[in-house]
């Protein structure tokens, strides 16, 4: 039997690569290795589940064993990759059954990203949670469930660290579900890195109308409580949040949403080239033969950036889908260069729906208001290189996409 294609990671990137590969090659053995259960779910659904009343188990669209059966692959769940030997084309993995060595024909790293954790002082600092996976969401959901019904007066209060895309989506979701929500961010407004000031101000106003309270220009300095062990166990217990500005208030749960950092630990240990993420060429190959990467762990040569000659990392769903299709073709024997189309992102803030098509990172230019709810990022030559749509103008997504120069 030939050596298998081995995929590390059972997120959207890993499972989509397996599915796209199976469309082209039904005979090559495939092994998927994942540290979690491997169930398939839509990661974007994690930040709008509370308002819909969905439990963690209800977010699973296809159980892992069903995915493995459908795609005719070997699933190694709850298994961690400890090292990669690119010369021997093997990797060492540790499962509940112990350590074993796997050989591969080709290796795909879809290891994703890890939440950035900023230092927080206080005896309850370890109670700060992040949501970057279904397991994380289950822990956060359990914490809020232990606090009781959000409709109770005055109701549990959730503090969110970070007013970026994920922070704002959770703020909207939790407020809509009846929780009291505070958001703290060092920036001047929500989604400051993505939106023109007027759109950011409009989003802040829309979320404030739901009851969300913002604390801009500051950070969470300390979190104090009556011993963090009880809090980690999921039992209710109010904490005191202390901001760098000196302001203090009570918090029943704290969610960190300050951003993600590509998980490059395995790649670094294996000697692969990394920068902001694992560096890959236009065919998604790393600096080692037969080793590829995509998803949140990859830095794509196909995504030009003014900040790096090695390209850019691209989060969100559409880059993963495009990358997986191109990589599957290459792995199936048809070398295929990845070409990214314009990929607008819908921000899940029903209080003010938004669509963002970001310009190339580092590109010189400025936001220009085109009409109410429509902004273009124009470069120094006056060409539209990105756009933001707000409210009812999100219906113009396709029309505005045709106006952008890539």
What's the token pair of residue 62?
């296809």
Letter string b/e over residues 138-147, b meaning 16 or more CB atoms within 10 A of that residue's CB: bbbbebbebb
Q: Whole-angstrom Cα distance, residue 392 to residue 26?
A: 45
Bond preceding residue 154 cis, omega within 30 of 0: yes
What's the token pair of residue 271?
């000697």
What's the token pair of residue 201?
């101000």
Residue range 202-215, pLDDT digits in tens: 999 999 999 999 99
Listed in order, the ranges of the chain carrying CATH 3.50.50.60 are: 5-114+260-331, 117-256
Superfamily of domain 5-114+260-331: FAD/NAD(P)-binding domain (3.50.50.60)
Residue 158, SS3?
strand
Q: Whole-angstrom Cα distance, residue 98 to residue 79?
A: 9
Give the list of residues 6+ apart from residue 319 with CB closer than 8 angstroms, or none.
300, 303, 340, 343
Q: Whole-angstrom Cα distance, residue 109 to residue 399?
A: 36
**Residue labelled with tokens 């190339």:** 360
DSSP letter assigned to residue 302: T
In DSSP notation, 358-387 reads PPPTT--EEEEEEETTEEEEEETTS-EEEE
pLDDT at position 2, please? 86
Mean pLDDT of 255-270: 97
Q: Whole-angstrom Cα distance, residue 239 to residue 241?
A: 6
What's the token pair of residue 374?
């429509």
Cβ atoms of 174 and 158 within 8 Å: the answer is yes
Listed in order, the ranges of the chain carrying CATH 3.30.390.120 are: 353-401
pLDDT at position 73, please? 98
Residue % of the chain over a pLDDT of 90: 92
What's the token pair of residue 198?
């007027």
Mean pLDDT of the chain: 94
pLDDT at position 147, please? 87
What's the token pair of residue 194?
């993505």
What's the token pair of residue 128?
């700060």
pLDDT at position 350, please? 97
Mean pLDDT of 315-333: 97
Q: Does domain 353-401 correspond to CATH entry 3.30.390.120?
A: yes
Please compute Rg for the chain using Cα positions.
22
What's the token pair of residue 81?
């990759």
Residue range 52-61, pLDDT digits in tens: 999 999 999 9
Residue range 180-238, pLDDT digits in tens: 999 999 999 999 999 999 999 999 999 999 999 999 999 999 999 854 444 444 444 58
Q: In CATH, what number does 117-256 get?
A: 3.50.50.60
In whole angstroms, how far apart are CA 307 and each of 304, 373, 381? 9, 29, 19
Kindly tell me if the per-residue pLDDT of 140 is higher than 70: yes
Mean pLDDT of 11-37: 97
The pTM of this model reads 0.93
């Amino acid at each position: 039997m030939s050596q298998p294609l081995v995929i590390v990671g059972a997120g959207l990137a890993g499972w989509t690569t397996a599915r796209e590969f199976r469309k082209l090659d039904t005979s090559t053995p495939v092994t998927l290795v994942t540290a979690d259960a491997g169930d398939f779910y839509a990661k974007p659904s994690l930040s709008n589940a509370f308002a819909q009343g969905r439990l963690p188990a209800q977010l699973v669209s296809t159980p892992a064993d069903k995915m493995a059966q459908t795609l005719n692959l070997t699933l190694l769940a709850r298994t961690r990759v400890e090292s990669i030997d690119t010369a021997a084309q093997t990797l060492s993995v540790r499962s509940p059954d112990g350590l074993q060595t796997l050989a591969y024909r080709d290796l795909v790293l879809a290891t994703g990203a890890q939440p950035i954790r900023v230092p927080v002082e206080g005896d309850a600092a370890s109670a700060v949670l992040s949501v970057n996976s279904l397991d994380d969401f289950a822990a956060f959901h359990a914490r809020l469930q232990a606090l009781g019904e959000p409709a109770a007066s005055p109701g549990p209060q959730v503090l969110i660290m970070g007013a970026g895309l994920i922070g704002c989506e959770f703020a909207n979701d939790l407020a809509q579900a009846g929780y009291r929500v505070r958001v703290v961010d060092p920036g001047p407004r929500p989604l400051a890195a993505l939106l023109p000031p007027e759109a950011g101000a409009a989003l802040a106003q829309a979320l404030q109308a739901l009851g969300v309270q913002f604390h801009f220009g500051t950070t969470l300095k300390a979190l104090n409580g009556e011993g963090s062990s009880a809090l980690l166990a999921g039992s209710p217990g109010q904490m005191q949040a202390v901001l760098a500005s000196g302001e203090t208030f009570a918090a029943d749960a704290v969610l960190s949403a300050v951003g993600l950092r590509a998980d490059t630990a395995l790649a670094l240990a294996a000697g692969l080239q990394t920068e902001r993420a694992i560096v890959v060429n236009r065919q998604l190959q790393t600096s080692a033969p037969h080793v590829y990467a995509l998803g949140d762990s990859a830095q794509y040569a196909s995504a030009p950036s003014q900040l790096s000659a090695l390209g850019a990392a691209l989060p969100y769903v559409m880059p993963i889908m495009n990358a997986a299709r191109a990589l599957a073709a290459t792995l199936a024997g048809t070398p295929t260069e990845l070409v990214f189309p314009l990929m607008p992102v819908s921000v899940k803030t029903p209080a003010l729906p938004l669509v963002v098509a970001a310009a190339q990172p580092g590109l010189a230019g400025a936001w220009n208001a085109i009409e109410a709810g429509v902004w273009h990022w124009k470069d120094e030559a006056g060409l539209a290189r990105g756009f933001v749509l707000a409210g009812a103008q999100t219906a113009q997504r396709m029309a505005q996409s045709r106006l952008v120069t890539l």
